[in-house]
Structure 1
Amino acid sequence: MKTLCIPKQQNVLKTCMAFGMVLILSLVTTTVNAQETERTVTGQVTSTDGVVPAATVLLKGTYIGVVCDDDGKFTFPQKLKENDVLVVTSLGYKDREIKITGNMTYIEPFLDDIPLVIIAALRTKATVPPSDIEKN
């Protein structure tokens, strides 16, 4: 019966290579799983005036979205992935884009007011200057 002698250095090298391969595979698998994680996102839209009822929250580039309730709260109807972007809009406010990162499941978008200037004039009756009356 023949005995195969493997030098100790080759044995250590094979063990290190096997350990390295397992480590690399586990890191790649963890990264892929983290990117594919889908989550339900909820939140409340606010501004300097308080909550913003009836604000619209849309997934950027699609027509998928939800309208906030009277308290400015919403639950997005579709599960979102990392790097998805939500666009929050409401009349009288600047649009806000929110990027989904990490394990984000609750957001509180803050909308800035659009400054409005209202100019109005009111005329109650036609007035004729007295100089025009005397000429006629």
Structure 2
Amino acid sequence: MAIFSPILRYSFAVAALAGATAVPAQAPSLAMLDGLEKGSWQLRERGNDAVLQTICVGDARRMIQIQHPRANCSRYIIEDTPKSVTVHYTCPGAGHGRTSIRNETNRLVQIDTQGIADGKPFSHAIEARRAGPC
């Protein structure tokens, strides 16, 4: 039985790893949001008939940052499925949030968002419904 020195064992390990090919990870696509209809969407707190906000949606990813609409934020995707997405985002100098969006139809979604905006906490349970064209 051959006895290999630690240096020789290290050399074998390096040679084995050199043959391995790294495969880049696929970035989550948030495809569920791409399937939502573009247009004017009304956002209401669940259980309240009053419109909280109306937004013109060309890219439904805007719904991720309802409390930080204009902030330049970094995002970390926690969940990305055909029916729901969850994203944590951080906006330097403006706060951060975590938003979950659940698709009921391509014209109706449920949004749960919470975090800090301008130094104050927020938490909203929102129903977003397409109202028509922008």
TM-score w.r.t. structure 2 length? 0.30
Structure with more helix by fraction: 1
Q: Which structure features the higher share of strand residues?
A: 2
Larger gyration radius, structure 1 or structure 2: 1
Q: Give the TM-score taking structure 1 as reference length.
A: 0.30
